[in-house]
Structure 1
Amino acid sequence: MAKPNKKLPTKSVCIYCQNCRAKLFKYKKNGKGALLKCFKERIVEDFTITPCVCPSCETLFARDTLVNGTPAFKIIGNKAFCK
């Protein structure tokens, strides 16, 4: 399986909690598709205190996994969105 590109995309998006609208990450997203996973190497700013938990409402929004050998956060369905 292919790993993510080493060159970061130019487009930067903010990722928010679906429940309380708190800012979670500033992320270099590639493409126009839905937010399914966040590779840790593409996270520019991390606003969370504990990984995968919203700092405001303390909801679990992702799982810490390996995707094709690369560390990533796999977003749980409709727990986070990007703008």
Structure 2
Amino acid sequence: MAKPNKKGPTKTVDIFCSQCKTQLFKYRKGGKGALVKCFVERISQDFTNDTGICPDCQRPFARQTMIRGTPALKIIGGKVTHK
């Protein structure tokens, strides 16, 4: 399978924890669909201390995985919101 585009999209979205509304990171998202996975190379600003865990409420929101040979975070359904 093809790897994700290195340059990536220019539009960034803010990703928040759905429980405590803490900002988790800024992500260069492509398309207008739901947020299912986040490629690590597309995260422009990371506000978390531990990967996949909210820094405020300590609730896990994602799992580390490899998608198409690239490190990514697989988002757990309903744990994050984005604007």
Structure-2-length-normalised TM-score: 0.97
Give the corresponding residue for 1:9.
9
Give the corresponding residue for 2:73.
73
Give the corresponding residue for 1:36.
36
Give the corresponding residue for 1:18.
18
Give the corresponding residue for 2:53.
53
Partners of 2:2 and 2:62 lie apart in 1 by: 22
- Amino acid in the other structure paired with 1:19: Q
SS at match of 1:8: coil
Q: What root-mean-square deviation, in Å, do the aligned CA atoms of Structure 1 and Structure 2 show?
A: 0.6
SS at match of 1:72: strand
Structure 1, unpaired ranges of 5+: none
Partners of 1:79 and 1:2 lie apart in 2 by: 28
Deviation at 1:8, TM superposition (A): 2.0
Runs of 4+ in 1 over 6 A off after TM superposition: none
Structure 2, unpaired ranges of 5+: none
Partners of 1:2 and 1:19 lie apart in 2 by: 35
